[in-house]
Structure 1
Amino acid sequence: MTILLTASIVFKGLAILLLGRIAWTDFSAQKISNRDVLLLLCLGLGALQFQALQTHSWLEMGISAFGGAALFLALFPFWLLHKIGAGDVKLMSVTPLLIGGSHLMVFAVALLVFAIGTAALVKNPFLMPAGIFRHYVQHMDRKGVVPFGVPISAAAICALALQMYHAIMVATSSGILEQLN
């Protein structure tokens, strides 16, 4: 069982690194590549698979798949109306499979906080410390472009980091890590 826990933590760590890359790419180029979203999907499904093997229950994977499908169906009309980018829709649809159904509330609260912060920065660029960032945000405001992949990635990173912390704390308190040494 410890190998499954370790593999799950490694997959989540790799997902955090990939989410950081997605956030930077979306911030700098307003583009979320399909390759990165597919990699996130694979990492998320792998971590959910390890969790299902540990708990002997597939319920978490089913809830996550339902959440991803629901988000895709809810956000697809907004993409058709050009209110949100296709990369943002795909990233939001993959996120429940990455995070897991039981941690979606943590993700939702973090997403709300980061989205409000992003909207505040776009509407009030004078809040930013450096002139170059002010200029960049004013450019985004003029063009009507908001890199929504940044708050999605930040919220997913927070949820994954909390999961990893919780898994490590449970492993150390149950003596699993002492058995490894």
Structure 2
Amino acid sequence: MSLLLAASLLLKALAVPLLARVAWVDFTTQKISNRDVLLLLCLGLGSLQLFSVQAGSWWDMGLSAIAGLILFIALFPFWVLRKVGAGDVKLIAVTPFLIGGSDLVVFSLLLLVFAIATAAVVKNPFLLPAGMFRHYVQHMDRKGVVPFGVPISAAAICTIVLQMYQALMVATSSGILQQLN
């Protein structure tokens, strides 16, 4: 595994706890801070830059930029109509930079699964075991608030973990890790 690819994976690995924090804060306060979104953007841009230099192609970075712009433009009217929070719009627009353009399909499928699961939990809080947790989710249902940052973060984390696993499998199967030791 080249140093550029290892550094790119390290930046993605640093994004995982930040995404977990974003999910927790969004779940508890229904807020996603601009600081967290900007930090995720920087980690994503750095990772994509390193990967693009290593691969010798800027296709992934261009695809990520186009996908981020399309997602922002598509969700902006929903923010204007107060159907989605501004933090959710910014987070979903930054996510293609974080995961890269080549894995947007995987991210989209995982986002669909996690969004459906989140909606099911919010609409059916009796599926949850803890009374306090059930009460909190019922409160969110009455207010009409769904923390969409949670499924976005969960899908991004799963996609990043899958990317890291694939990179390690390629590195170990090609014998590169054995040569480094």
TM-score (norm 1): 0.98
Q: Helix, strand or coil: the match of 2:146?
A: coil
One-letter code aligned to 2:121 = L
Aligned to 1:100: 100
Aligned to 1:116: 116
* Separation of aligned partners in 2, 1:173 and 1:45: 28
* Separation of aligned partners in 2, 1:176 and 1:37: 34
One-letter code aligned to 2:137 = V
TM-score (norm 2): 0.98
Q: CA deviation at 1:175?
A: 1.5
Aligned to 2:25: 25
One-letter code aligned to 2:21 = R
Q: CA deviation at 1:176?
A: 1.4
* Percent of matched pairs sharing the same residue: 72
* Separation of aligned partners in 2, 1:106 and 1:135: 33
Aligned to 2:84: 84
Q: CA deviation at 1:8?
A: 1.1
Aligned to 1:146: 146
How many residue pairs end up in the alignment?
181
One-letter code aligned to 1:65 = A
Aligned to 1:155: 155
Deviates most, 3-12 or 130-139: 3-12
Q: CA deviation at 1:174?
A: 1.3
Q: Helix, strand or coil: the match of 2:147?
A: coil
Aligned to 1:41: 41
Runs of 4+ in 1 over 3 A off after TM superposition: none
Q: CA deviation at 1:62?
A: 0.2
One-letter code aligned to 1:136 = Y
* Separation of aligned partners in 2, 1:79 and 1:116: 20
